[in-house]
Chain A
Amino acid sequence: MLPVSRRNSYLVRCAIIMSDEAASSDKADGSVRLSIDGREIVTKEGQMLLQAALDNGIEIPHYCYHPKLSIDGSCRMCQVKVEGERKLAISCNAPVREGMVVDTQCAEVEEARRGVMELLLVNHPLDCPICDQAGECFLQDYSAGYGSAHARTSEARRKGVKRHPIGERVIFDQERCILCRRCVRFTQEVTKTDELRVFGIGDHSHIGTMPDAPLDNDYSVNVADICPVGALLSSDFHHKRRVWFLEDSESICPSCSQGCNVNLGTFRNEIQRIVPRRNDEVNETWMCDRGRLRYAFTSDETRIREARVQEAGEAPRPIPLSEALDKAATLLASARIEPNSVALLASAHLTNEESFRLATLAADNLAESNVLLPIETGPADGFLIQEERAPNGRGAREMGLIPRGMDLQALWAAIADGTVKTLYVIGSDLLKIIETDQLSDELAKLDALIVQDSNESPLTAIATVVLPGLTFAEKDGSFTNYNGRVQRIRRALEPTAGLLSDGEIFAGLEARLSGNPERPFSAAATLEEIADSVAGYAGMSFASLGSMGVPVAGGQEPAPSPSGGARVPQAGET
């Protein structure tokens, strides 16, 4: 041992501990065995102690650490006692070592946590009754364990700007901020747009933006997710509902083919908010603002809640769904005598199970009719926004909804000249590709327009038969994202009584067109059929898909890390 003074011995010991020799595992597979609160934990070399603890269900309180952002080490809340070290270590930045013995519950650790809490609470405003974060606030939760009901200071708290629209979709409250800097690191490392910075110094530090440079990127509301307190909040959800009233359902965002994993927060059968769910293979912990905020359509006044029929020369009138199915089947049956005169426009918003059933229907009962799959597209941004602006284009194609016959341009011309006389359209993506404001004129020559959709559109307004469909939030099923990951959606909202899912509608049409007794549609059973017959989907079931999904066998590139390297383009750039 080198001769060192007592004052330096701690530093020397740290140097030895931090050196490669001591830190590396002595196992070939790089695994490290350590003990936390008497529990043996096995983790990988290079892992930080905090992440290892969280992965094993051990709660260590923390603010500034986030698994998808760089390590900050500023909040000091994650301090734990490591045997053999004189001072407490911050577990977020403590690499695991073989044989490490960690105590997260001893008196010294508790005192440290109480100290951090007291200092944070000195200036934190008493906003809980009016703050949206109540119920999911780190400060509130840790106060229960480590806070104090009485302040030891009597000076007035510091003042700051309150409910400041720091971006179009985000509200900032300076007084509530605890300066964990998660938001700053997000705009630096994930979106690479650098809007948020820390201004001032020491006790005068505060988060802000440069003048004329508000928080303005396609992922801005993610900062409200990661803010541990109510300093950054989603404007859309501001003062909307207390989070303890929300029922959470796991689902998949339907706004593009990325398939970001989400949680739908519902109350009284309406979606109140959508927040991202962690899936390291798809969206890490992020989602784009566009998808996050697009949910009102599931329960607003544009929802179609009953079937309709419009005979020639008459006004449209509501009819029972079974009658509408009869009518639609009759129209299709008479039309298919002239096969090329029928066109089926399927939708990439249908689940795999529904697409499979529709493909069967098309093959058995609408053979030789044209099949199209119009999908709205837009520019991919190199991060999470994909080109196809629908959740299941790949799934629809792999289930057999492969375009045949005319393409959309040819179809439009064929309608105009009367070759195609019967259209069965699901959804309204077609209108995002062919833009027209003379829809009823251009479709005037059709004998029959059957439209199946969840929301009113210019198509449903002129349809002969309107079949009410369900939104993604009202169905059980699966979507296959652009990269071949098959992921579950779950029913989070109860549909209007009497409505059928799109799959059940296909079953009803199939029975009427074939004359056979109806083969009832069940999403779970259909997925098992798919597992037996579609290449790449072998062995899949709702249970196997679970919360994280399952990749299609052999059909995908290795999952790219969404935040690895790609820079979110600024407005005006391509």
Chain B
Amino acid sequence: MYQLDLHKKIDDLLKLNPATISVDSVDTLINTNTDARRYFFDQVDENWLNWLWENKFLDVIKEKSKDLTRLSYQTTELDYLVKIAVKKPKEVVDIILAVPFSKDHFNLEVIDRFSWICGILPPNELARVVPKMRDEEWIKLMGPFNRGFEYEKMFENLLKAKEYGAVITLAEAVLFIRTEEEFRSSGKGVTTDNPFYTNNLGQTNVFTTLVSVSEEYYERALSVLTNTLGKVIKLGNPKDNDVFSIGEMFHLFDVDFFDLKLEENKYYSYRDDVRNLAAAVKIMCEKTIGKESINLDEAKRLFNEYITPLPDSRSIWRLKLFIWSLHPEIFKEELKNAFFRAFESENHPWQIAGGAEYEHTLKKGFSRLSDEDQRSYINKCIEFFGKNERFQAFGIDILSSVPGNLITSEEKIKIKKVFKNDLNPGHVPEPSIKSQFAGAVIPQVPPGSEEEWKKPIPEIAEFFRTKWTPESLQSLDTKKDFLHPINAEGISGKMRSEIPKRFQEYIENASLFFEREKLDSHYTYSFLRGVEDVIKEKKTELSKTNWDGLFELFKNIVISGNNSPFDPTYKGRESFDAWLAGWSSVHSAMADALNELTSGSEESSILDFNKYRNQTLEIIKYLLTHPDPTPEEDTKSDNDPFSRAINTARGRAFETFVSFVYRDSANFKEDKIKISKDVKEIYENTLDNEETTAIRFLFGHYIPTFFFRDRDWFKNTISSKIFSEGKKDIFLAAWEGYLTANLYEDLFILLNDLYEKAIDLDESEYTKRKYFKDLDTVLATHIALAFTHFENKSDLFDKFWEKENIKRQKEFISFVGRTCVSRDNADLVIKAEKIQIDRLKEFWDWAIENVKNKEILSEFGFWMNLKSKAFSDEKWVAQNTRKTLEKTGGEIDWNYGLMESLPEFLKVDPEETLKILDLHLKNLNTKEGGGWIRVDEDLLGIFKDLYRNPVTKEGAYNLINELLILGSQRFWILKNALE
């Protein structure tokens, strides 16, 4: 029987009264196949509910999940319940209540769909279910599959209906906290460090709803929230100080309870969930303990009942400060103890007094202290924070938070004397870490040094050797502000900002910025970077600059290095609170500055190239002998050769060398050979001595630059050296470098043997290291580019296809498809770039006949595109698409172009289109797990046309029939094509 006829039979059955039908007949009919069952439950209405439930047609929902690692909607009976829940809410809720869940017996899909139903239930019916949700711990059972949308709707509906009791029960059901063991592991798919069972708590609006309950429910809401916060805090780190028994969690580091707001609509991660929980606690504390008319006993009862039991942690301490400050008169004893607690820990006073809350509380509550306590507090403060230089900045902030009128003039004098600073009446309390500044260290120059920078450059240069040495600066940094340290990085930054203002002066005095024994390498480095910045970013007019001073500096470094090599072992060093550049970094900076100077065309150049040519080449020659990178570092590194190369002194020098060669060619405009002897000599010497894959990569990468300047030299002398038969890894690095460069036809021909060798080389023979580009991919790309663009077809192409290599051959087909077919304006590109389109056509025909591997052929997905108009013979494209799909069993790696082009395929060849759809859609539905297609109006339109066409009518009917069995519900829409 056709599936369509079976659908008809079900339609007829459903017209009858269920009471008159035998259970067996329904059972037999709907169990003919999966689609029949699905269709039945899709069509059956709410009047059948009791009959179905009583006759156990819905009993599948009582079964436990077979696989708890995935959630999918397979149970059509649940679709039915979702569908009728609005019409028969009471009956559906009765069924929900009759299906028990426990840790050992539950079904992910059933809970998920029940949750969804709950989102659409009327509030009174929902109120019947929420205790079950809480008691059976649905949110825990669902784990990572929780979403939040349903709960959002539930909270919204309950709140609208003023079902506040149910709101609180639902909040309890949602706010389960993970166990410590679960919290420490990332198991069950919930993100590590997330204390909640869902990654989408913000979506539920649980906190916004909880704080919106009516006054009679305030205390219950406070109870739920504080209880939850307590459990979250307990998940904190182990004790890490001598003040609190639980270490702080980072979730609340940057919170200031005084200005904390509930912002569930601005949600980025579960960290915001914790912050919003804290905000909700704050709000409920304001509404209860902070109520204006509250009396002392009630405030203390609420505090003792809900706040006192919370864990002993710094966050809770800060919360308590906030709560006490709500009624300073009621809590004056607590405030007094809190203020004096700042002196409890000699080592960690900021545990108590750090953050914004302590200071806010001082502002609000200090006046409640007796005069005697006030004097005692201020004196203790001066003594405690004044005696330790480390605490002085902190101490002055605290004293500045005490209302100014409550500090005597004698005390103010004493403060100034001890802290060498005045009180700051405008001081604004800030959290320990401000979220927008967390971790941002901004180095500073010494205070009052602004005038020094206006002095003549030689004087400034002298400061670098005396009072601004990295060591001297450390002693000037008395404040020790972690985020604003005074150090060599601060001075360097300032120098770099000053250089553009007096550029020529700095350049004239450049040689003063190198004195190996007296000036820290970090300052030489910073000077060079400053110069490079100016040139690169054109920060000032440069065309008339006299560069002699800079070349003098370079020369001095070269002489020094030649006399006694610089230590290459470090590029930089950590110095207390700053990173200081070493000599290798200075050499990299030299190369970069030189590169900036020599780059650009003859016309746009800022350097009189010929004047400085020989000096520049000498410096480059020196830099190319720099030991960084060493062969040892090269083998140890876990990075690819290119990334390594450009982060080393010799690598930077090589790039500068290439830049130099570009410029130098202006001197050989009329010559056949466009490269000088001295350049070739340096190139050869460097190559002969080079043993790292990093720099060998660069040799390969820049082959075209040297080849086209002297082809014979390259062919006879260089090629065999770069691609020597010695170490395989060295060879592969140069080859990798070459393949990642643009492709030139002359080189492609010249290096034919190397391509052949590479084709013969198997992936298993590649040395095990990180590659900048996958070798097989770049080889395939080069062969493909040559194939599509070069007029003469190389024999390499045949060789490439003679030896099966799935990865390379897949890449070849896919790359050609992406570059020539499935791209914007493919037809225009083909013309403009003279792509050998006939060759592409021949290749596709050949591949269909000769390539046996389905995986390789499936890459033709990028070719199956009529929208792009790459191929003019559209009928041929349709045929080849069908033929390819026949070979691959309907499988293609990329079906986007094909699906988008279906209307064009239909116009060109309806019969082929039907076959294409037959092959591809049936495959999508049989592919394990991956078959997915959206059957929308566009596809329906295609089927309508196919069914209208007498030639394809029967085929379309048959295909729809088959698709119903294979894909069931997702293809039912196609039945509309038959109308």
A and B part of one assembly = no
